[in-house]
Amino acid sequence: MERVSSSTSTYDLGEDATAYDDLSHLPVAAVRNHVPLAIDVFSGAGGFSLGAIQAGFEVRAAVENFGHAAATYRKQIRNFTGRRVEFFEEDILNLSPHKVMDEGGLAPGDCDLFLGGPPCQGFSSHRLGKSGVNDPRNALLYRYFRFLDAIRPRMFLLENVPGLLQPKHAEYLSTFLGLAEDNGYAVREPIILNAKDFGVPQNRKRVFIVGYDPKAVEFAIPWPPHPTHGEPGKLSERGPLMEWRTSAEVFAVPAPPNDPNDHHMQHRAELIEVFRSTPPNGGSRSQSLRTLPCHMQHNGHKDVYGRIDPSKPSPTMTTACINPSKGRFVHPTEHHGITARQAARLQTFPDDFQFEGGLMASGIQIGNAVPVALAKHVVSQLRNVLPSSTG
C-alpha cells in the first residue's frame, strides 16, 4: 500500500468489449494520423470526456467507481476515431495506473492530456468550519497525482469545487502542487471559471488546475481562457461578448419522445400547493409558505423550493438538482421540480445522451459532471499547446 505523508497526516494511496455505434452528439471528423490522446479518471458519466472528444481528442481510458455513472459512460461515450474507450469500473485506490496504460495502448509520455475531477464533497464550501478537512475522499487528490506521475502526460487538467481553495484545505492543495512540481511539472495558479461565461446556461463556479511538462510542450497560450459570454452589452478586452445563455432555452423545447430522463419527482399534494404559491422567476422558502419550525432559528438555505428564473442562467446543478427541497430547483412555471433532462440540458449534455439508473441516480451523475460546453472550451484551448504533429 503506497502512502504519502504531510506534516500532520498519512494518507493511503492504494495499490499500485463492447463495440459502440455512433451518436449524433459526437463530432463528424476525418480521422487524422495524429489525434491527441487523453485519459479521464473520476470520469463520472462522462462530461469531461465528451467535451474532450468534441475538442478533437481521443479518450483512451477512463476510470469510475459509481455503478450507474459507469453504465452511462459505457453506453454514451464514443470516440469519433472509432476506437473504444477502455473503461475501468474500479476503486482507483486499488487500480494500477500501469494496467490502465497497458489496456489503453499507452506508454509513459504517450498521453497528451490527463483529465480528472476527484470527488469534491469534502471540499464543498457548504461544509462549515473544519467540516470536511478529514473527509477520506480528499486524499483521492493524491491518488490523481500518482496516476499522473506514472502516465507522464504532456499536460494535466484537474477540476474541483472552489472550496478546494479554502485555507482549511491548504494542506491538501499545497501537497498536491508540490508533488507535481517536484516531479517535473510546471503548474499554473489555480483559477476559478464560471460556466455561464463559456456558453453554459448555468451559474456554476469551479476550480481548474492545469500543469504541463515544460520539456514536452511550450505553454504559450492565454491562461485563464478568455470568457466568450457575459452580461448583455458587456465588452471584454477582445471586443463584445455573446450574451449569457439563459435557462429559458432549456424549458422552451419539449424533451424527445420516449426520453427515459424526461421525469421529475412525484410530489405530495401539500408540496404541489407550496409550488403553486411560489412566485414566478424566483421565490424563497418563506414566499412558498414553507417555513418549518426547524427554519425559525436558521437564516440559510433560503432558495429551497424556489423557482428557476428563466431570464437568467440557472443556479448550480448539484447532485440533488431534481429535488426542490435542496435548492432552487422548481420548474419556472409548472408546479414540480425540474426533470433530469432539463438538468442535463443545463449542464449542456445533448438530448441523445441518456443517463442510467433512474431519477435519483441520474441527478447525482448530472450534478457531478463537468458541463460539456465548458469542458470543450477549456480543452480546446489546451489543444493549442500541443505540437502540431500531435494536435
pLDDT tens column, 330-363: 999 999 999 999 999 999 999 999 999 999 999 9
CA distances from residue 19 to 22, 76, 83, 177 in whole angstroms, order as listed: 10, 12, 9, 39
- How far apart, in whole angstroms, are the C-alpha atoms of residue 156 and residue 152? 9
Q: What is the DSSP letter of 54?
A: H
C-alpha cell of residue 233? 452589452
pLDDT band at 289 (very low <50, low <70, confident <90, very high): low
Helices (H) and strands (E) in the chain, counts: 10, 14
Q: Scanning the structure block, which residue is given the C-alpha cell 459505457?
A: 74
All structural domains of the chain: 32-232+370-383 (3.40.50.150)
pTM of the shown model: 0.86
111 catalytic per annotation: no
C-alpha cell of residue 50? 465528451
- How far apart, in whole angstroms, are the C-alpha atoms of residue 97 and residue 51? 23
- How far apart, in whole angstroms, are the C-alpha atoms of residue 88 and residue 39? 11
pLDDT tens column, 211-249: 999 999 999 999 999 999 999 877 666 678 899 999 999
As beta bridge partners, residue 104 has: none
Cβ–Cβ < 8 Å for 45, 66: no
DSSP codes joined into one string, 63-111: E---HHHHHHHHHH---TTSPPPEEE-S-GGG--HHHHHHHHT--TT--
Catalytic residue among 111, 120, 294, 321: 120
